[in-house]
Amino acid sequence: MPTGYVGVCLMDPPYDERTHSSVRRAGDLADVAEHDCRKRRKTDLGFVALDPALQEEVAHECARLVRRWTGAFCTVEMVHGWIGAFEQEKPLRYVRTVAWVKQGSTPQFTGDRPAVGFECMVLAHPKGRMRWNGGGGRGVYTHPIELPRLGRGPKRIHTTQKPISLMLELVELFTEPDEIVIDPFCGSGTTGLACLRLGRRFIGMELDPVMATTARDRLKAELGETTLDAVRSGQRGLFDA
């Protein structure tokens, strides 16, 4: 893509090796006591941890392609690494770290320390005038995690899927109508879904061919005024010809 082709980048890259090695699956919290570690097991996220060389390459491409905001989700321990990767790329500069407070997140199963209750997004912007749609609002966004409880609610499509409510808020705050938004770690396409609902254009990239197909089908379903589950069950959209 040519230099400056994209308006905003909102991405959820893989996290570091430390995070990948410590992820455990909670299952149904109603069935298992929160402190019972024996019934939890490590979860394979389905993709490898973030390599520092890839992190630098992504920051380089963001500096080349993106005219305005670049936002990368990460753990609080990774914030410094993303700041360094962004700031070594001209004309990018670090602006702020904001937080997603994760309602319903996994407890600390060992019980010997506090559980992690939030994730970060590191924001960078080219030097010059900045604008967003949040006025003087604080960079703290509280949304439930994407996980059905007690068998209710839609199933999570991707192991690290962000809630659509969170991405709708971020897209509305940091992008403009008809602006091109890119996500180089597209996953199940939640950022694209938010863009379609809010009248933004979207470019998504995903290495996993199965997940790429799922994201594409999910966005097509959204354009057809229906959902992926409805399409896969054979239902038709209200406005289908």
- In the chain, the percentage of residues whose pLDDT exceeds 70 is 76
Q: Which residues pair with 72 in a beta bridge?
A: 11, 122
Q: Which of 169, 192, 189 is nearest to 180 (CA)?
A: 192
What pLDDT does 27 receive? Answer: 44
Beta-carbon contacts of residue 151 (< 8 Å; ≥ 6 apart) = 28
Give the residue-averaged pLDDT of 171-192: 96
Of 11-15, 102-106, 230-234, give the lowest mean pLDDT range.
230-234
Q: How far are the Cα atoms of 99, 157, 218, 228, 238 from residue 231, in angstroms, in the given order?
A: 34, 15, 9, 5, 12
**Residues 50, 204, 187, 104, CA torsion sign:** positive
What pLDDT does 234 receive? Answer: 67
Can you read off the two tokens belonging to residue 142? 């509280």
Look at the block and give the residue holding tokens 């962004």: 86
Q: Which residues pair with 97 in a beta bridge?
A: 122
Residues 6, 67 contacting (CB under 8 angstroms): yes
Q: Is 221 helix (H, G, I), strand (E, B) or coil?
A: helix
Q: Which of 143, 162, 139, 74 is nearest to 104 (CA)?
A: 143
Higher pLDDT, 228 or 62: 62
How much is the mean pLDDT over the chain?
85
Higher pLDDT, 146 or 119: 119
Per-residue model confidence as pLDDT tens digits over 120-143: 999 999 999 999 999 999 999 999
Q: In the chain, helix, strand, coil percent, each to 5?
A: 30, 20, 50
CB-count burial class (<10 Å; 0-12, 13-18, 19+) for 50? buried
Q: How confident is the model at residue 48 (pLDDT cuts 50, 70, 90)?
A: confident
Q: How many helices (H) and strands (E) does the chain have?
A: 7, 7
pLDDT > 60? residue 182: yes
Strands 118-126 and 92-103, sheet pairing: antiparallel
Domain boundaries, the chain: 8-232
How would DSSP label each residue in 62-93?
HHHHBSS-EEEEE-GGGHHHHHHHHHTSTTEE
Strands 201-204 and 180-183, sheet pairing: parallel
Residues 123, 131 contacting (CB under 8 angstroms): no
Distance CA 31, CA 167 (A): 30
pTM listed for this prediction = 0.82
Per-residue model confidence as pLDDT tens digits over 88-97: 999 999 999 9
CATH superfamily membership of 8-232: Vaccinia Virus protein VP39 (3.40.50.150)
Can you read off the two tokens belonging to residue 168? 């709708």
What pLDDT does 16 receive? Answer: 75
